[in-house]
Amino acid sequence: MLILSRKVNEKIMIGEDISLTIIEIRGDQVKVGVEAPKSVKVFRQEVYEAIQNENRAAATSVPSLESLQGIIPQK
């Protein structure tokens, strides 16, 4: 792990097109701005992990006939 020190308004570059800017430091909280191409998804770690868990659960679940009844219009 690379550890860097930065002050407010200083940046960290990741590759050529992603930058992290230190916006504010208040006590033990740091606000970071992220500039990245729209094709790069940026999440907080806990949100990313929740998405991964939901994706795993959806991939392993088997839908029941009852849960599919509302999808196909009845004649």
Q: What is the pLDDT of residues 12-57, one digit of tens each?
A: 999 999 999 999 999 999 999 999 999 999 999 999 999 999 999 8
For the chain, strand residue ranges (E) read 11-14, 18-26, 29-35
User: What whole-number distance in Å separates Cα of residue 48 and Cα of residue 1?
Assistant: 20
pLDDT of residue 61: 79
Domain boundaries, given as residue ranges, for the chain: 8-36
Which CA distances in Å does 54 have to 29, 44, 49, 57, 59?
Answer: 28, 16, 9, 5, 9
Asked if pLDDT for residue 10 goes beyond 80, the answer is: yes
What count of Cα atoms within 13 Å lies in the side-chain half-sphere of residue 41? 6
Asked if pLDDT for residue 75 goes beyond 70, the answer is: no
